[in-house]
Amino acid sequence: MNTPSTRLQQLLAFYADDPTDAFTIYALATEYRAQEPERAWEYYQKLLTEHPDYVGTYYHAGKLLEQFNKKNEAEKVYRDGLRVARKAGQQHAASELLQALNSCLGLDYEDD
């Protein structure tokens, strides 16, 4: 990734204009997730700390922690996200977080 994509350049410009905008921070984390997961994690951490009610963060932050082999931390993120999603009435997000939590805990077995 020698030259940033136009989308990344736009997101970084938005971030420079308003480093507190949760959507821009989330979009940057998403943009960096595949190529630069450590940088993505920095943005997820910022969201978890500064925007704890931003429900979309928890699933992807947990998955990234699992990718880093930090299952205990991922479990905590999923559990926190479940609480936030339920409080916000976002049942679909809560369902996805519960599935991710169960998978993280090894409880996602299915009959073949």
Cut 0.85: pTM above it: yes
Read out DSSP for 54-95?
-THHHHHHHHHHHHTT-HHHHHHHHHHHHHHHHHTT-HHHHH
Distance in angstroms (rounded) separating the CA atoms of residues 42 and 29: 8
Q: Tens digit of pLDDT for each residue in 8-58?
A: 999 999 999 999 999 999 999 999 999 999 999 999 999 999 999 999 999
Count of residues in the chain: 112
Residue type, 52: P
Q: Tens digit of pLDDT for each residue in 40-50?
A: 999 999 999 99
Residue of 84 and 111 predicted with greater confidence: 84
Please tell me the predicted confidence (pLDDT) of residue 109. 67
Please tell me the predicted confidence (pLDDT) of residue 5. 80
Confidence class for position 1, pLDDT limits 50, 70, 90? very low
Distance in angstroms (rounded) separating the CA atoms of residues 3 and 65: 27
All domains of the chain, ordered by start, with CATH? 15-104 (1.25.40.10)
